[in-house]
Amino acid sequence: MKHLAALNKYFISYKWRLILGLLFTAISIVFSVFQPIMVRQIFDLLSHNIDEYRILSHTSLNKIFRSDFTGVLAFYGISILIFALLSGFFLFLQRQTLIVMSRHIEYDLKNEIYQHYQQLDLNFFKMHRTGDLMSRITEDVSRVRMYVGPAIMYASRTVFLIVIIVYLMLQVNPLLTLYTLSPLPFLALTIYYVNRIIHRKSEKIQAQLSNITSIAQESYSGIRVIKSYIQEDASARHFEDASESYKDSSISLAKTDALFQPIMALMIGLSVILTIFIGGIQVIHGNITVGNLAEFVIYVNMLMFPFFSIGMVASMIQRAAASQQRINEFLQIRPEITDNPGAETVPLTGDIKLENVSFTYPHTGIKAISNFNLHIKPGQKVAVIGKTGSGKSTLAQLLIRMYDPQEGRILMNDNNIRSLTLTGLRDQISYVPQDVFLFSDTIANNIRFGDPTADIEKVQQAARQAYVEKDILSFNEGFETEIGERGVTLSGGQKQRISIARGLIKNPNILIFDDCLSAVDARTEKEIIGNLYAYLQSKTAIIITHRIFALFEFDKIIVLDEGKIVEEGTHEELLSLNGYYSELYARQQRNEEEGVNS
Ligand SMILES: Nc1ncnc2c1ncn2[C@@H]1O[C@H](COP(=O)(O)OP(=O)(O)OP(=O)(O)O)[C@@H](O)[C@H]1O
């Protein structure tokens, strides 16, 4: 329960809706209890007057008496109807306030979680599965909403109804009250346990359902592989197995569900029988009237739902508490990489120094960068080359503070980047990642992601510089072409170039390209390199690559191995070293020659 205390701040901010909702609940209940009271009065009126009616039935007074009596009955009937309408109206208002409040809280909570996710470090996302993060914001939040909305609504109705009805019952006859109420706690307990079983089974079904969905999703995405390896039957069997267990669980849930209604009917029946039996004896002894008995039967029926909802509300609260606990755990995680106190935004000219930098990935213990030293001067173009896994991407990640090194420091314009604001730092660097990610949106908007204010001319210019404009214009919708599941499928090279255009449109002083030309052919690569050369004239650029761009005059080329610089110099200097670089260059030349000759 203590976990749910985190939600109190929302109750405070929606206090007026909450107070109004509770007030409407109370008013609606007050109107609803008039019905049994009036039924009692009708019954008593009837039983008191029935003898006189019989006596008068043979006289001329009968007509007058009958018309008066019918008038009284009609009055009661209309009053009951009016009270029922009033009660219903306030019930409507109660839902309008409490359920609407819960929707507002759900909205706020979702936004709070989403915004918190955005602040967390990459490390957090590496350590949690996407599905897990999604379910916090969807399933857990909807369970919590059941607490802040329906549970509060049912609980308040239950409390008000029980208090008012039990008070009215006690006024009539305490002994009868005791007997009538005795089966109801069992009802509440049974509903609680049955509800728990239903919930456990539903959870299992939910997991099986999401398993079926991901099997289907995976086989549709991987349909080319399935067909080319003739695995359609195996894939269908896999799906069938998952569906079979889903079916079994659903049938088992249906059986438990079927218990629900009979249990309710049994408990209501038991209470009514007890009321009529004990009440009948009390009527014979003259302790209560027939009207009281009728009133009691209605009370019993009115109390059924509140007792039923005690069980339901208890399990709703239990589930909400478990979900809120999970949400709290996430919300309490603080990002390690944030603005330090006194952080400043400093204009960056491209002077970058790495001093004795070492970095180990915290969750795997892999040392990716080891005692690294490098000085890049403003306007320099630096190539970073090295085998796969040598630490090239990690180096890029450290420069934009996706991670902080455990040892050493990184300086930009002689400021430790830890003392700069994160937005100031990242805003002045364009990072084109190795794994391209494009959003399901138009091509123009994907490029504009680098500069949301850019007009279409700027977008086109960036596309031209990234040598992808011609490709884009070949699509029917041009720059307005939708990408993603329902849009066009782009080739790997086209995606990479759109991602480069996104980096270029930002137009910062520092650019980092992380192996982002791996999927383009040699001719396109040449064109882009040519364009980049002009674009990067006055900028500082770090180009991480697997291939040597001999046409690009780098000020410095560094060769990485196991997170350390093993070779450093210009193209000519490195060739003369006869090391990894010259070997790579010779291999590349041979491949190109073979490619030309074949
Ligand atoms: N997010 C991560 N979590 C844990 N270990 C990582 C992570 N990213 C990379 N590594 C490890 O760090 C080392 C350096 O990886 P990095 O991606 O920097 O190499 P790279 O030179 O860019 O490789 P490639 O050329 O294949 O992209 C590798 O051993 C890799 O397994």
CATH code, domain carrying 324: 1.20.1560.10
Backbone φ and ψ for 65, nearest 5 degrees, come out as -60, -45
Name the residue of 363, 366, 406, 543 to mutate for ligand 1: max ligand atoms within 8 A of Cβ.
366
Q: Is 388 in the pocket of ligand 1 (CB under 6 A)?
A: yes
CA distances from 363 to 329, 367, 436, 540 (A): 18, 11, 24, 32
Is 422 within 8 Å of 119 (Cβ atoms)?
no
Residue 143 CA neighbour count, 13 Å, CB half: 22
Residue 64 has a pLDDT of: 63
**How far is the centre of ligand 1, averaged over its atoms, from the C-alpha of 492 (Å)?**
21
In this structure, is residue 138 part of a structural domain? yes
Number of domains in the chain: 3
What letters, b where the CB count within 10 A reaches 16 and e where it falls short, cover 66-91?
eeeeeeeeeeeeeebeebeebbeebb
Is residue 408 in a domain? yes
Whose CA is closest to atom 24 on ligand 1? Answer: 388
d(CA 570, CA 553): 8
Q: Is 434 in the pocket of ligand 1 (CB under 6 A)?
A: yes
Containing domain of residue 400, as a range? 346-428+510-568
| pLDDT < 70 positions in the chain | 1, 50-67, 485-488, 595-598
Q: Tell me whether residue 516 is in a domain.
A: yes
Is any ligand 1 atom within 6 A of the Cβ of residue 461? no
Does 385 share its domain with 359? yes
Nearest residue CA, atom 26 of ligand 1? 388
Residue 189 lies in a domain: no
- Whether 187 and 304 have beta carbons less than 8 Å apart is answered as yes
Cβ distance 581 to 575 under 8 Å?
yes
Q: Is the CB of 385 under 6 A from ligand 1?
A: no
Residue 379 CA, ligand 1 centroid: distance in Å: 27
Q: Dihedral (C-alpha) 35, 38, 39, 44: value to the nearest 10 degrees?
A: 160
Domain co-membership, 400 together with 459: no
Where are the extended beta strands (E) located within 311-380? 352-360, 367-376
Residue in 544, 521, 574 with CA at minimum distance from that of residue 383: 544
Same domain, 413 and 522: yes
Which of 464, 489, 507 corresponds to the end of one domain?
A: 507
Q: Which two tokens stand for residue 66?
A: 């009958």
Structure tokens at 597: 């000759």
Do 80 and 169 belong together in one domain? yes
In a domain, 270, yes or no: no
- On whether both 460 and 424 belong to a single domain, the answer is no
Same domain, 542 and 527: yes
The residue among 465, 547, 533, 529 whose CA lies nearest residue 502 is: 465
CA distance 441 to 479: 11
Output the pLDDT for position 63: 65
584 alpha carbon – ligand 1 mean position (Å): 21
Site to substitute for ligand 1 among 122, 367, 392, 402, most atoms within 8 A of C-beta: 392
CATH number of the domain to which 541 belongs: 3.40.50.300
Q: 561 Cβ partners below 8 Å, 6+ apart?
A: 386, 387, 390, 580
Q: Which ligand 1 atom lies nearest to the CA of residue 391?
A: 18
Tokens, residue 296: 């009691």
384 C-beta neighbours (distance < 10 Å), count: 26
* Res 498: pLDDT: 93
Using CA atoms, how far apart are residues 515 and 393, in angstroms rounded to an integer?
Answer: 9
Instruction: Residue 271: name the closest of 163, 190, 184, 188 by CA.
Output: 184
Contacts of 447 (CB under 8 A, 6+ apart): 454, 459, 462, 463, 479, 498, 501, 502, 505
Mutating to test ligand 1, I would choose from 337, 390, 394, 584 the residue with most ligand atoms within 8 A of its C-beta, which is 394
Strand pairing of 352-360 and 407-412? Answer: antiparallel
Cβ atoms of residues 560 and 514 within 8 Å: no
Beta strands in 299-366 (DSSP E): 352-360
Residues 402 and 530 in one domain: yes
Whether residue 405 has its Cβ less than 6 Å from ligand 1 = no
Q: What is the pLDDT of residue 402?
A: 92
Q: Do 545 and 479 share a structural domain?
A: no
Indicate whether 319 and 446 sit together in one domain.
no
**pLDDT number for residue 129:** 74
- Asked if residue 393 has its Cβ within 6 Å of ligand 1, the reply is yes
Alpha carbons 22 and 11: distance in angstroms, whole number: 13
> How crowded is the C-beta side of 32, counted as CA atoms within 13 Å?
22
Of 484, 507, 530, the position where a domain reaches its end is: 507
Q: Does the beta carbon of 127 sit less than 6 angstroms from any atom of ligand 1?
A: no
What is the widest separation between alpha-carbon atoms in the chain? 134
Same domain, 371 and 489: no
For 407, phi then psi, to 5°, come to -130, 155
- From 332, 359, 390, the end of a domain falls on 332
Q: Is residue 279 part of a domain?
A: no
Task: Count other Cβ atoms within 10 Å, centred on residue 121.
Answer: 19
Distances from the Cα of 62 to the Cα of 50, 74, 76, 273, angstroms? 12, 18, 21, 37
Q: Which residue owns the Cα nearest ligand 1 atom 9? A: 394
Same domain assignment for residues 57 and 131: yes
Q: Are 460 and 479 in contact (CB under 8 A)?
A: yes
Number of H helices, E strands in the chain: 22, 10
Whether residue 376 sits in one domain with residue 318:
no
Quick check: is 471 in a domain? yes
Give CA–CA dist 509/396, Å, rounded.
15
**Integer Cα distance of 418 and 416 in angstroms:** 5
The set of residues, in sequence order, having a beta carbon less than 8 Å from that of 261 and lying 6+ positions away, is none
How far apart CA 591 and CA 366 sit, in angstroms, is 33
In a domain, 256, yes or no: no
